[in-house]
Amino acid sequence: MWVLFAVGSAFFAGMTAVLAKCGIRKTDSTVATAIRTIVVLAFAWIMVYVVGSQGQISAIDGTTLFFLALSGLATGASWLCYFKALRLGDINKVVPIDKSSTVLTILLAFLLLGEPIGLFQGLGVILIGLGTFLMIEKNPHPQAPASQGKGWMLYAFGSAVFASLTAILGKVGIQGIESNLGTAVRTGVVLVMAWFMVLVTGKAKEVRQVPRRELVFICLSGLATGASWLCYYRALQDGLASVVVPIDKLSILVTVAFSYLVFHEKLTMRSGWGLVLITAGTLSMLLS
């Protein structure tokens, strides 16, 4: 049963990018991030009460709270970059770069935390890195202005870097706290950061101007993220982390499939081989 939950986590994670893309055609990506974070935060606290860890709130020490806050800030920065990249670029180009955060996380864990890199992990890092390189296309998004041709790539790499920092800081921050409670706390930080960005960039008025149809898709993307988390942690509860995590990372296959069905984004032969390498690299981590 836990394998089905792991597959469900990958499915909903893959749907998040597609649903979000539908919600930011006219809506500013920062505004969309702030709105969807409300939904994600609600799901995060649902998880806290599902596992019954709400009683540990008073036991959170200052050091743990500090690193959770830093992790939340990194998460917020990652999400802001990710949805900005999705607004400017094709899903099939943005998502592979974002997924390269797996490679960066493994390397940072080795350099900063002293975690060893096994043979199959090393092979996975190489394959995912090569696959990501092949999937990066130089031509700009057809609907984006020429001046923004390379902007999506910078934001996509920013998303990957901050996502990696999120994992490292989060690992330090949840040493003395239940993981779901830690996730809820740092998601609260993300919410504050997202709305702060809305205010300082003068986009508060745009919140009321979000088209109803796009608002629905923004909220659905938040629900998809929440559903992915529910499935992910349920799978981890009963299954092997070494199996659950790689299965979850295969969400890129779901994203590519639905980006073709919804947005008619097609893979070139080069990017197709890149997807094959990323998938092979991810699967190789199942053997680690």
Question: What mean pLDDT comes out for the span 206-219?
Answer: 95
CA distance from start to end of the chain: 22
The pLDDT assigned to 145 comes to: 47
Question: What mean pLDDT comes out for the span 146-172?
Answer: 81
User: pLDDT digit string (tens) for 181-205?
Assistant: 888 998 999 999 999 999 999 999 9
Helices (H) and strands (E) in the chain, counts: 12, 0
Q: What is the mean pLDDT of the chain?
A: 87
Q: Residue 237: pLDDT band by 50, 70, 90 thresholds?
A: low
Q: Look at residue 239 and give its three-state secondary structure.
A: coil
With a cut of 70, say whether residue 223 has pLDDT above it: yes
Question: What mean pLDDT comes out for the span 20-25?
Answer: 92
Give dist(CA 134, CA 269) in Å, integer: 9
What pTM, to 2 d.p., does this model score?
Answer: 0.83
Question: What mean pLDDT comes out for the span 259-270?
Answer: 89
With a cut of 50, say whether residue 234 has pLDDT above it: yes
Residue 188 backbone class (left: φ over 0; alpha: ψ -120 to 50; beta: rest): alpha
Question: What mean pLDDT comes out for the span 29-53?
Answer: 92
The pLDDT assigned to 249 comes to: 80
Question: What mean pLDDT comes out for the span 224-252?
Answer: 80
CA distances from 184 to 23, 39, 48, 259, 265 (A): 24, 12, 7, 30, 35
Question: What mean pLDDT comes out for the span 222-241?
Answer: 82
Residue 75 in tokens: 């998460």
Question: What mean pLDDT comes out for the span 92-112?
Answer: 86
Question: What mean pLDDT comes out for the span 64-91?
Answer: 91
Share of the chain above pLDDT 90, in %: 44
The pLDDT assigned to 221 comes to: 96
Give the rounded distance of the alpha carbon of 72 from its chain centre: 13
Give dist(CA 60, CA 254) in Å, integer: 37
The pLDDT assigned to 248 comes to: 81
The pLDDT assigned to 38 comes to: 96
Give dist(CA 285, CA 248) in Å, integer: 12
- Dihedral angle sign, alpha carbons of residues 3, 4, 8, 10: positive
The pLDDT assigned to 235 comes to: 84
Question: What mean pLDDT comes out for the span 161-172?
Answer: 84
The pLDDT assigned to 93 comes to: 87
Which amino acid, one-letter code, is at 81? C
Give dist(CA 198, CA 126) in Å, integer: 38
The pLDDT assigned to 148 comes to: 47
